Amino acid sequence: MKKDLTKYRNIGIFAHVDAGKTTTTERILKLTGKIHKIGEVHEGAATTDFMEQEQERGITIQSAATTCFWKDHQFNIIDTPGHVDFTIEVYRSLKVLDGGIGVFCASGGVEPQSETNWRYANDSKVARLVYVNKLDRTGADFFSVVKQVKEILAARPLVMVLPIGLETEFKGVVDLLTRKAWIWDESGDPMNYTIQEVPEDLVDDMEAYREELIEIALEEDDELMEKYLEGEEIAIEDIKRCIRKGTRNLSFFPTYCGSSFKNKGVQLVLDAVVDYLPNPMEVTPQPEVDLDGNETGTFAIVDADRPLRALAFKIMDDRYGALTFTRIYSGTLSKGDTILNTATGKTDRVGRLVEMHADSREEIDSAQAGDIVAIVGMKNVQTGHTLCDPKNPATLEPMVFPDPVISIAIAPKQKASSEKMGLALSKMVQEDPSFYVETDQESGETIIKGMGELHLDIKVDILKRTHGVEVEVGKPQVAYRESITKIIHDNYVHKKQSGGSGQFAKIDYTIAPGEAGSGFVFESKVTGGNVPREYWPAVNKGFERSIVKGVLAGFPCVDLKVTLTDGGFHPVDSSAIAFEIAAQAAYRQSIPKAGPQLLEPIMNVDVFTPDDHIGDVIGDLNRRRGMIQSQSSNPMGTRIKAQAPLSEMFGYIGDLRTMTSGRGQFSMEFAHYAPCPKNIAEEVIKETKEREAAASK
């Protein structure tokens, strides 16, 4: 049976930490009849925050997918985390959504992380509603947040409701389209409301905002705009149609307000999801790419009758085994189907399909285009892999994940737990593509790498709670890189010709600094067959294997170009392995002469501080070798954007809280690598060598 996709809404809820995303999701589930007792985040009982770490810290770490129904429409909701170290979760959730709700705190306004999330949603071209939450809080100001959405996010909010009363007096909202007031009583039951005439003191405001609303909406339809300008009354249905069109085109963002905690105002947001957010067929289809990542010009059109195209956007391990959260773009997926994973080239059989409701689930027999479901027990699937019809393969645009910038060494407190730790870590790597684990060859230590201090902090916590492995944690280490500053022309001869078959390879080459971010580039300009073509890949491989260890402190060497210019070979003694060994020795011989330098990760730092602490915060950033890029004020305080080396930012949150009496906030993400100052480079090299010496004893 084909489902009616016009009745589907795949939506995500995203915002800054503490703006009330999870509470809002709870209210939606309550109103749509999915849960009967409302769980509170501050009591650690929210339905979607079912990890212990989430309940304890009151933050959402994993995006939980859940299904519910409102006015005969099916909502697939993904609750995303707000914290910057989990942006990867937000990013991959946005990839599979058709629409979103951006939640903002009425007193906090547009905070640093909401800006990052908004930018990600712009990149993914996701249509959104704006919901200003916490209108019952002291300092709540709906219109100030609307202004910030315009100024900070450069977005166009379309005000759909006005608040009735503020802070403790907040009672309900005025619906501008219908000119009616929704008033809730104080029982806390979201169903205890009445729809009445608008209070007299708000009538003038209502008419002014309603006029603005209609004028913005009718920009989407010239004929209706003409009628309106000629004084005709425009039907509400026509206005709604224009709002829907403008929302889908990202021309504006319908803006609502309420208090999720007090159960006021959420129904209108649900109605807006139905009325204005796109269904799966109205979104630009995902482009298909070939195995090399080039677009093929075809798209995964949302249609149950087409070949299967699905994207695994999240892997989660729970007591029933591995769950692969999957968004189906086209085709149908049924229990027992064999599907192809284009990333691994392997096929897998679908054992069980489940529809998720936070942490409970319902088994289903099949799902189709537009659905978001979880497949139980898939092997070797990672986030971003495409699952498709083996007879008709294609890859959806792959997700790109950033490289880690921080690492720590961990060791199990009990030796007996090391195998358990290894298994737990391998599960965690599958769940989170921005988390890496490796073993240090020399010291045998296990190193975990991630996007920031909190990211690794939570991973250590998950090891302890979820997997029962207590670990000892080393000092955080920065992921430095090495590079070169000079061009070197050099040659190297590798020969070993004593008895039996010998080895011979001669290479002439140039090593030059590459452009920032170019990584490693190899080319051959050999003419005349002095180095036969079949040995070029071996030379490339020799250098490629060598650059993982730089000559200064053993950090990977990046941004260099090796050009093979000439060389020589022996008809009997030359072989690919001989040329590979020659390239490895050439690297060791030439890099020290090429002006090697240490590069350090520079982070974009976005700090929010109350005005009376600006001087302290800027002074502190300068001491951390930060470069201030810009600062802007709003009624709540000042935003400072800066770039600073990661090595200077450890423990920053504690210092910032101390400086700002607990009111400062910041977010940080990787910007680029830059040369390290000489004195700091010397210190890092010395420390690294001492560490290696200690490990080898």
Kindly report the backbone phi and psi dihedral angles of residue 321, in degrees, each rounded to the nearest multiple of 5, phi listed first.
Answer: 115, -175
**Residue 675: both structure tokens together:** 């040369």
Write down the pLDDT at residue 40: 37
First to last CA, the chain: 68
Model confidence band, residue 34 (pLDDT cutoffs 50, 70, 90): very low
Q: How far is CA 92 from CA 131, 315, 397, in A?
A: 22, 11, 12
Average pLDDT (668-696) is 86
Sign of the four-CA dihedral 578, 583, 588, 593: positive
* pLDDT above 50: residue 200: yes
Write down the pLDDT at residue 292: 60
* pLDDT above 60: residue 428: yes
Please tell me whether residue 657 adopts helix, strand or coil conformation: helix
pLDDT tens, residue by residue, 41-51: 333 334 343 33
From the list 172, 233, 224, 219, the residue with the least C-alpha distance to 198 is 172
Using a pLDDT cut of 90, give the percent of the chain over it: 30
* Cross-strand bridge partners of residue 488: 511
Checking DSSP bridges between strand 503-513 and strand 488-496, what pairing results, if any?
A: antiparallel
The rounded distance, in Å, linking the Cα atoms of 409 and 477 is: 8
**74 against 116, higher pLDDT:** 74
Write down the pLDDT at residue 79: 59
Average pLDDT (210-214) is 92
Instruction: Classify residue 225 by its DSSP letter.
Output: H
| Domain chopping of the chain, boundaries | 5-282, 286-396, 406-476, 486-594, 598-679
* pLDDT above 90: residue 581: yes
Torsion of CA 11, 14, 18, 21, to 10 degrees: 0
The CATH class of the 486-594 domain is alpha beta
Sign of the four-CA dihedral 174, 175, 179, 184: negative
Model confidence band, residue 36 (pLDDT cutoffs 50, 70, 90): very low
Mean pLDDT, all residues of the chain: 82
Average pLDDT (321-327) is 81
Using a pLDDT cut of 70, give the percent of the chain over it: 86
From the list 486, 488, 591, 490, the residue with the least C-alpha distance to 548 is 591
The rounded distance, in Å, linking the Cα atoms of 424 and 21 is: 29
Mark 348-371 as b/e (b = at least 16 C-beta within 10 Å).
bebebbbbbbbeebeebebbbbbb
Q: How far is CA 44 from CA 21, 23, 137, 238, in A?
A: 14, 11, 20, 44
Fold of 598-679: Alpha-Beta Plaits (3.30.70)
The rounded distance, in Å, linking the Cα atoms of 691 and 697 is: 10
Are 215 and 234 contacting, i.e. CB atoms less than 8 angstroms apart?
A: no
Q: Count the neighbouring beta carbons within 10 Å of the beta carbon of residue 378.
A: 22
CB-side neighbour CA atoms (13 Å) of 92 = 28
Write down the pLDDT at residue 22: 63
Continuous segment of H or E residues that includes residue 238: helix 236-248
**Exposed (0-12), middle (13-18) or buried (19+): which is 271, by Cβ within 10 Å?**
middle
Kindly report the backbone phi and psi dihedral angles of residue 362, in degrees, each rounded to the nearest multiple of 5, phi listed first.
Answer: -125, 130
* pLDDT above 90: residue 244: yes
Model confidence band, residue 189 (pLDDT cutoffs 50, 70, 90): confident
**Residue 98: both structure tokens together:** 């058709």
Architecture of domain 286-396: Beta Barrel (2.40)
**Residue 236: both structure tokens together:** 């509400």
Token pair 């058709």 in the structure block, residue: 98
Continuous segment of H or E residues that includes residue 89: helix 87-95
Are 643 and 604 contacting, i.e. CB atoms less than 8 angstroms apart?
A: yes
Q: Count the neighbouring beta carbons within 10 Å of the beta carbon of residue 502.
A: 15
User: Of 72-86, 374-388, 429-443, which gets the smallest average pLDDT?
Assistant: 72-86
From the list 167, 174, 170, 178, the residue with the least C-alpha distance to 202 is 174
* Cross-strand bridge partners of residue 175: 161, 180
Fold of 5-282: Rossmann fold (3.40.50)
pLDDT tens, residue by residue, 247-300: 999 999 999 998 888 888 888 989 999 999 998 888 777 777 766 666 677 777
Token pair 């192809």 in the structure block, residue: 340
Q: Do domains 406-476 and 598-679 have the same CATH topology?
A: yes
The rounded distance, in Å, linking the Cα atoms of 68 and 200 is: 38
Model confidence band, residue 1 (pLDDT cutoffs 50, 70, 90): low
Token pair 């939450």 in the structure block, residue: 133
Write down the pLDDT at residue 550: 92
Fold of 406-476: Alpha-Beta Plaits (3.30.70)
Write down the pLDDT at residue 622: 94
